[in-house]
Amino acid sequence: MRDEQRLTPDELLHEAREQFEQAQDFSLAVEEEFAILDSETLALSNRFEELKAAAEGTDLEQHLVGELIASEVEIRTGRCDSFAEVAARVPERRRQLRSLADRLGVGLGATGTHPWSPWQDQRIIDTPHYRRNDEILQYVVWRNNSFGLHVHVAINGADRAVQVTDGLRAYLPELLALSASSPFVENVNTGLHTARTQIFTRFFPRCGVPDAYGDWATFEEYVRFLFETGSIDEHTQMWWSVRPHLAFPTVEIRVCDSQPRQEEAITLAALTYSLTVRIARAVDEGEPLLLPPHRLIEENFWRAIRHGLSGELIDLESGRVRPTRVAIEELIDWVQPVVGELGTAEYLAVPEANAAERQRARHEEGATLEEIYAEQVAPQAPLAVPPSGRSGLARASVGTDRSTRLTSKSNPL
């Protein structure tokens, strides 16, 4: 849990820049948010403080934190120097959390929203940070009962971190569509594949797709503007779907829904990590980045929210519309130059159905929301084989020439 920001804006920005200049390239961490559930009804249950207390003295203690509401808990891998570490720690942290939850007799859920529990019944946890957000945002923060997966990737160089963030903007819709897991909320089939994203990004200020800043000085100028005008009083109040983090020298990718299945969480982290490093390599080599205007990215962002992996996305270079699965396969092709060194190749796959599609299919079959959610929160077997050998996952083809995928040419749309 976060305390109030102790540094002045000047100190914060100076320290953040210094940290980026000294960062170890491409170390990473994954954060996963889980719903805390009544074990019998599977409704949200305000028992975070009990979980936090139960973690004291265990290996999970320093990796378990609160996240806004008392019916939510976040676990973190901690800093990993390789993706192999992440692939091992995600299941380890989940096992550790489930052990604590079993001891307390509570359940855990990992879809982007809870299908029926009212937001009015959820209590904001009592920390200075969340009390302040409660005071500032009111209904916006009360309503945000949502659960996500975040990936941090360390980037050496402050200007480079901003440029990598800029480059990631165009691909947020692909990552979002792949991760979609929240079609139901408030006892409603929303017709969306990620209701979490619609709730979070359309309610919160400074959220969703950020502008492209080009360099640290321009980014810093905007952050100073926010502080000087009283728009923010903590750096975490910039809630974009991708951002240079000002407490850690990382680019944080925050667009994804939580994942019910740990192997899909690992697959999602692998693609996010590979994409981030591939863009960093493009920056290093002077390869032009795809930097479409905000309005065009938003068109794909909405398509990902509405139709998820089942829809279509626009190629923002050519204007071509193609199935979202094809867009993700093309993205997997494009990151191939870095996957060998990162050790992510075996994890890069497009599922036959992601969590949103599985839930929607069960709903069409006549299953109740309670039955569907029970299937999503059932404990998953430990990951025993690499994704390339799992049933239910379709390997993406590789070898397509994507040498011109990133470009700064004028957009035809």
| Structure confidence by residue, pLDDT tens digits, 180-236 | 999 999 999 999 999 999 999 888 889 999 999 999 999 999 999 999 999 999 999
> Does 226 map to a domain?
yes
Q: Which of 284, 287, 301, 282 is nearest to 169 (CA)?
A: 301
CATH of the domain at 110: 3.30.590.20
According to the model, what pLDDT value does residue 387 have? 38
Higher pLDDT, 111 or 408: 111
Half-sphere exposure of 165 (CA within 13 A, CB side): 32
Indicate whether 403 belongs to any domain.
Answer: no
Structure tokens that stand for 401 in this block: 């020439």
Candidates 276, 159, 160, 165; CA nearest to 218 is: 159
For the chain, the distance separating the N- and C-terminal CA atoms, rounded to the nearest angstrom, is 44
pLDDT band at 125 (very low <50, low <70, confident <90, very high): confident
Q: What is the pLDDT of residues 138-159, one digit of tens each?
A: 888 888 899 999 999 999 999 9
Q: What is the pLDDT of residues 55-108, one digit of tens each?
A: 999 999 999 999 889 999 999 999 999 999 999 999 999 999 999 999 999 999
Domain count, the chain: 1
The model's confidence at residue 405, banded by pLDDT at 50, 70 and 90, is very low
Mean pLDDT in residue range 393-397: 40
Instruction: Give the residue numbers spanning the domain of 289.
Output: 9-395
Cα(226)–Cα(223) distance, integer angstroms: 5
Share of the chain above pLDDT 90, in %: 83
Q: Decide if 410 is inside a domain.
A: no
SS3 sequence of the chain: CCCCCCCCHHHHHHHHHHHHHHCCCCCEEEEEEEEEEECCCCCECCCHHHHHHHHCCCCCHHHEEEECEEEEEEEECCCECCHHHHHHHHHHHHHHHHHHHHHHCEEEECCCECCCCCHHHCCECCCHHHHHHHHHHCHHHHCCCECEEEEEEECCCHHHHHHHHHHHHHHHHHHHHHHCCECEECCEECCCCEHHHHHHHHHCCCEECCCCCCCHHHHHHHHHHHHHCCCCCCHHHCEECEEECCCCCEEEEEEEECCCCHHHHHHHHHHHHHHHHHHHHHHHHCCCCCCCCHHHHHHHHHHHHHHHHHCEEECCCCCCEEEHHHHHHHHHHHCHHHHHHHCCHHHCEEECCCHHHHHHHHHHCCCCHHHHHHHHHCCCCCCCCCHHHCCCEEECCCCCCCCCCCCCCCCCC
How much is the pLDDT for 237?
93
Is-contact 9 224, C-beta < 8 A?
A: yes
| Dist. CA 31–CA 195, nearest whole Å | 20
Please indicate, yes or no, if residue 1 is contained in any of the structural domains: no
Q: Is residue 179 part of a domain?
A: yes
Asked if 88 contacts 80 with a C-beta cutoff of 8 angstroms, the reply is no
**CA 115 remoteness from chain centre:** 20
Is the pLDDT at 309 greater than 50, yes or no? yes
- Report the pLDDT value the prediction gives residue 127, as an integer from 0 to 100: 81
Please report how the helices 324-334 and 294-307 are oriented relative to each other, as an axis angle in degrees rounded to 10.
120
**Is the residue at 210 inside a domain?**
yes
Give, in degrees to the nearest 5, the angle at Cα 327 between 203 and 162. 55
Q: CB under 8 Å to 362, separation ≥6 — which residues?
A: 371, 372, 375
Q: Looking at the domain assignment, is residue 21 inside a domain?
A: yes
Comparison of pLDDT for 204 and 254, the residue scoring more: 254
Phi then psi for 169, rounded to 5 degrees? -50, -45
In a domain, 3, yes or no: no
